[in-house]
Amino acid sequence: MKKSMPPVFRFAPSPTGYIHIGNARTALWNALLAKKLGGTFILRFDDTDTDRSKPHFVEAILEDLAWLGIKPDRIEHQSARIPRYQAALADLKARDLVYPCYETPEELDRKRKRQQARGLPPVYDRAALALTTEDREKLEAEGRHPHWRFKLSGRNVMWDDGVRGPSHIETSSLSDPVLVRADGTFLYTFASVIDDIDMETTDILRGEDHVANTAVQIELFEALGAKPPRFSHHNLITTLTGEEMSKRTGSLSIRSFREEGVDPLAVSLVAVLTGTSEPVHPVAQLDDLAALLDLSKFSRALTKFDPGEIRDLSKKLLHAKPFAEIAPKLTALGISGMKAEAFWAALHGNIDRIEDAADWWKILMTDRHFASAESEFLAEAAACLPDGALDETSWSRWIGAIQARTGRKGKALFMPLRLALTGRETGPELRAVLPLLGRSAVLSRLAPAPHS
């Protein structure tokens, strides 16, 4: 029995903007399925459009994917493969499978509008096929350069979609696709098929907005003598207001989540599991997420994406991190030493981002004094502070003594102490704050402000 080859998945963004949560969703599914199935994941930049593709967006996409934990096995650039596309185009020309067209974009637009006005689908009418050699020479003498279209067969193209099941499209309902622009640059439809052939792509998982492209690309695969890969088209996600996501508008970009300081694993979890039957829930690491993936879990419905879900999950992941895992990040923020672990134990449930820990470290570990109008009460509280070194048992004894001495309870008892010790109305439990501060610092903060 012939042994099946390991699968090859790919993600092919155009570097024309920052990738958004929808792009990341596709990239993560492909990368994680490749990992789960022991295959290869290729990152391929669709950068043949030289006017819109920018090197800084290439770098940005690499940075954003790395931040999410995606490590491509190979990185390819379509701009480096132009000779291969030219050779494939020459082959199709020789076999009369493509034809030159001379309409300008404006002329094509007017033609589409006339068809729509007559209640006809805006499909290219193949008028260019009627041009004689003399007609073409005359048009080129006027300075026109042809774009090249692929002749679709018009048949019913069928495939077994990994998400949608048995699927079919009659290519007679589609325009013959443009493979090469008038300026000689190649379009994604053509370049992608050649890349998938050469790179032995076995699985193409992408958004359902590409379903119509699939019928076209299957015909191209066959025209180029190759077996088409397995196609799967997942459902799309929108913003909460129902808008489509776009790299050009920056809507819900991965970069914006990075700048916000959320946990990349939270972004990956919500991106991957939103719009599936698998509930969004914390996992320890990205590899654990790979084990949950199954194409059958995709919903067929359009799904709205809530960025608040990422923020909430990011907090849960942060709060659950053990000190050993978070210690390097704390050290980078200047949080280290004998008290660092106790500090994290006291604080971890009270911050939204790891960067917030740095503020609390300054509050608790540097000489501070917070102004208070409760000087008399604080003096009585200082007198009640238990003798000796403070530990987590000191708090209950101290509060009991203050309550017995002053008669205060509830907020009137706790809030002046919190404000005096931390300068904040909310924060970590004071039972954990006392040993972090130590006896000397507690008494200093309870004392009246020194005169300037």
- Cα 275 off chain centre by: 14
CA-closest candidate to residue 262, choices 313, 212, 215:
313
Q: Are strands 8-11 and 156-161 parallel, antiparallel or unpaired?
A: unpaired
Amino acid at 318: L
Query: What does 70-88 look like in DSSP terms, one character per residue?
Result: ---SEEEEGGGGHHHHHHH
Q: pLDDT tens digits, residue range 106-132? A: 999 999 999 999 988 899 999 999 999
Residue 452 pLDDT: 41
Burial (CB count <10 Å: 0-12, 13-18, 19+), residue 20:
buried
Residue 1 pLDDT: 43
Nearest 10 degrees: Cα torsion 392, 397, 398, 403: 140
CA-closest candidate to residue 31, choices 273, 287, 399, 311:
287
Distance CA 253, CA 274 (A): 16
Residue 373 pLDDT: 87
* Count of positions (residues) in the chain: 452
Looking at the chain, the whole-number percentage of residues with pLDDT higher than 70 is 97
Distance CA 272, CA 70 (A): 13
* pTM (predicted TM-score): 0.86
CB 67 within 8 A of CB 35: no
Residue 191 pLDDT: 97
Residue 22 pLDDT: 92
- Exposed e or buried b per residue across 235-271, where buried means at least 16 C-beta atoms within 10 angstroms of its C-beta: bbbbbeeeeebebeeebbbbbebbeeebbbbbbbbbb
Q: With a cut of 70, which residues of the chain have pLDDT below it?
A: 1-4, 246-251, 451-452
Helix (H) or strand (E) holding 316: helix 307-320
Q: pLDDT tens digits, residue range 32-79? A: 999 999 999 999 999 988 888 899 999 999 999 999 999 999 999 999
Phi-psi region of 27 (alpha: psi -120 to 50; beta: other; left: phi over 0): alpha
Residue 78 pLDDT: 96
Q: Tokens at residue 214, please?
A: 């699939």
Q: Are strands 303-304 and 237-238 parallel, antiparallel or unpaired?
A: parallel
Nearest 10 degrees: Cα torsion 403, 406, 409, 412: -140
Distance CA 385, CA 111 (A): 87
Residue 219 pLDDT: 98
> What is the torsional sign of CA 323, 327, 329, 333?
positive
